[in-house]
Amino acid sequence: MTITVGAAPASWGVEPGGTKNPPWPYVMDEARAAGYKTIDLGPLGYFPTDPARLKSELAKRDLTIISGYLFEPLHDPSRKAEVLQNTRDVCRLLQGIGCRRLVAMDWLSDARAPTAGRSADARRLTPAEWKAMIAFIAEIARVATEEFDMRPSLHAHAGTFIEFEDELDRAMNDLPESVIGLCVDTGHTVYAGFDPVAVIRRYGARLRHLHFKDVDPAVLKKVIAGKVGFMDAVGMRVFCPLGAGAVDFPGVRDALAAAGYDGWATIEQDVDPESNSPFTEDARRSIEFLRSAGIAS
């Protein structure tokens, strides 16, 4: 099993539209210093959007882009024109630098972010709303695939309308593998109360990307008991360096090997950019852990 593992700007507190995001050259430099040779694109517009300039800046640091993402209101088809334009913009940039991996996630809505991790309390989409969202995701995937030759995957994200195990299963059932694959996030699955090992075993053939993330079980217990919303939980450091939390990484490794996964993964540790977190040291600890666990080379 050979998995290429990259860093994520999110591990240095970079957020879409964030006013406290650190400068992008710093994040590139720190990712390289932490031992990475590839990094996620992050939110569109954070790194340079001219492909030639982006490739030049990456080359200076011996880096490449491992993947890009869409973090958009997939549950709101009224935003279709805007989201499809963003899809084309992200895909065009990825295509221009030779990357084909695109991860699609629903946006953190006011209706779901406050109940992240608490299935019984979460507002669910009506059948009509769900059907509209699935059609919207399929259209985004077709744009990515047919117009830009991308390999899109769907990510179940805490605090969104595709979060819990039943929602992920329903989405995988309603969206054919020929339309979109799957990106399993090990931390978000545990946050949402289900097992990433079981998900990988169930959908191994659909894996196109992975997000390696870990969850501090003591903090998560406080978050769930206190009914803390997702962004506040991030500020409490619910996510921790890989190997220091609740995720069964030996089980993840074995499930990936059984699935024959030989692809790509991004290490993410969602953090508050204004915290005193040791961002670069945590990123270094995480990739070194994956190497010691036989998951990354």
Residues in the chain predicted with pLDDT less than 70, given as ranges, are 1
- Asked, for residue 46, whether it belongs to a domain, the answer is no
| Neighbour tally for 120: CB within 10 Å | 6
- Asked, for residue 13, whether it belongs to a domain, the answer is no
Overall number of domains in the chain: 1
Domain span at 228: 59-265
User: pTM of this prediction?
Assistant: 0.96
- Asked, for residue 15, whether it belongs to a domain, the answer is no
Cβ-contact 243, 269 below 8 angstroms: no
214: closest CA among 252, 183, 181, 182? 252
Which amino acid is it at 140? I
- Asked, for residue 128, whether it belongs to a domain, the answer is yes
Which amino acid is it at 6? G
- Asked, for residue 221, whether it belongs to a domain, the answer is yes
Write out pLDDT tens, residues 213-251: 999 999 999 999 999 999 999 999 999 999 999 999 999
Question: At 65, which CATH number?
Answer: 3.20.20.150
- Asked, for residue 104, whether it belongs to a domain, the answer is yes
Residues 6+ apart with CB under 8 A from 12: 22, 26, 27, 30, 31, 271, 273, 279, 280, 283
- Asked, for residue 154, whether it belongs to a domain, the answer is yes
Question: What's the pLDDT score for residue 7?
Answer: 98
Question: What's the pLDDT score for residue 148?
Answer: 98
Write out pLDDT tens, residues 25-74: 999 999 999 999 999 999 999 999 999 999 999 999 999 999 999 999 99
Tell me the three-class secondary structure of 211-260, residue by residue: EECEECHHHHHHHHHCCCCHHHHHHCCCEECCCCCCCCHHHHHHHHHHHC
Which tokens in the block code for residue 94?
């990825």
Question: What's the pLDDT score for residue 211?
Answer: 98
